[in-house]
Amino acid sequence: MRYYIIAGEASGDLHGANLIKELKKLDPNSEFRCWGGDLIKNQTNHLVKHYKEYSYMGFLEVFLNLGKILKNISLCKRDILSYNPDAIIYVDFPGFNLRIAKWAKSKNFTNHFYISPQIWAWKQNRIKTIKKVIDQMYVILPFEKQFYKNLNYKVHYVGHPLLDVIKKSEKTKSKENEKIIALLPGSRDQEISKILPIMLSATKFFKDYTFIICAAPSKDKLFYDKYLDNEKFVNVKIAENQTYDILKRARAALVTSGTATLETALIKTPQIVCYKSSWISFQIGKFLLRNLKYISLVNLILKKEAIKELIQQDLNTHKIRKELGFVLENKGRERIIRLYNELEDLLDKKGASKDTAVRIYNYHLESNS
């Protein structure tokens, strides 16, 4: 079969690549054409565009790059028509993907959506489009199945793919971790430029620790050097392609809100969630997400504050110093790790990539029989 896969951001690239691996096992004659990142490219070598050329964060950033986004949507449509796939698989990235899916359905393509749009958080009216244009939806959070059931739409709960990505050996942490604090400032230029300098401002208060910036997959070491051109950052290092290893060794982490907060939790590293965007993007987001108490997946899944969230004006040197001091203490660490164990119990369904691949493959076998 011919598959067309569209993923955005580092997490979509990771989960899309693992899905491709599983589809190849089921379908030795499979062919792929994709939008994504380096991991997907390594699996297919047929990458139309890298996500760093079409993925934007925040309402203002999307508005400022609207022309580029529309050009990429047009390119994607033309490319799909030319390739004529048997199945289109959308991996998260709903702003872009639902636009393509709506068009693709009008052209009679079969649409699979892996990792549901978070319509339980905002834009619930997207369910109307989803019902019309998505043939099969695969959800990864335990409460999403019931959420969609309440909206009269059948989905497949496949479990969270991170449970398979983070191996058991990586989740087993020693009682005494090294004197390392991991910094995960995000993957996009906009978020790194706003968040990393604030993270770094707190390093002077913890001189006994080494702070390690975990470089995003789409960024090299040189990208981060400009933030470290000051002699005061003597206890800061940069690591490439070592995020999980650094988190396993670290005593604590400062993590930009997103999938990385869940990765950090599953590795059992106490963390503080950091988030800051442009003023206008924050105000719009605050209005749209007004019904949510938290922004991190860890707290949302647990439905309580397991980890501290420092958002917008609360993301400052003073508060990072205070909260980091707390999570470095044994009492603070023990509470967070106990809640991490509760989280892992909730996310108990493994094999997401394999389950999704089997369902997609069998769907087409049954449709053609």
Distances (CA, A) of 106 to 18, 72, 81, 84, 101: 29, 19, 12, 14, 9
Backbone angles phi, psi at 293, to 5 degrees: -85, -25
**Of the listed ranges 108-112, 321-325, 328-332, the one predicted with least confidence:** 328-332
297 closest CA partner among 347, 352, 338, 249: 347
Per the structure block, which two tokens stand in for 46?
């047929």
Residues 95-131 pLDDT 10s: 999 999 999 999 999 999 999 998 987 788 899 999 9
Q: Tell me the average pLDDT across 282-306.
A: 77
Is residue 147 predicted with pLDDT exceeding 60? yes
Angle at 200 between CA 198 and CA 204, to 5 degrees: 120
25 closest CA partner among 350, 360, 348, 349: 360
Burial level of 344, CB count in 10 A (0-12/13-18/19+)? middle
**Stated pTM of the model:** 0.85
Per the structure block, which two tokens stand in for 180?
């390392």
Residues 246-272 pLDDT 10s: 999 999 999 998 889 999 999 999 999
> What's the confidence (pLDDT) of residue 169?
44
- Average pLDDT over the chain, rounded to whole? 90
Q: Tell me the average pLDDT across 238-247.
A: 93
Is residue 292 predicted with pLDDT exceeding 90? no
Q: Identify the residue with better confidence: 220 or 155.
A: 155
Q: Tell me the average pLDDT across 352-365.
A: 95
The DSSP annotation for 188-223 comes to SHHHHHHHHHHHHHTGGG-TTSEEEEE--TT--HHH
Q: Tell me the average pLDDT across 135-139.
A: 98
Residue 153 confidence class, pLDDT cut points 50, 70, 90: very high
Task: List the domains of the chain with CATH numbers.
Answer: 2-161+351-368 (3.40.50.2000), 168-346 (3.40.50.2000)
> What's the confidence (pLDDT) of residue 190?
81
Q: Tell me the average pLDDT across 139-161.
A: 94
In 68-161, which ranges are E strands? 87-91, 111-114, 136-139, 156-157
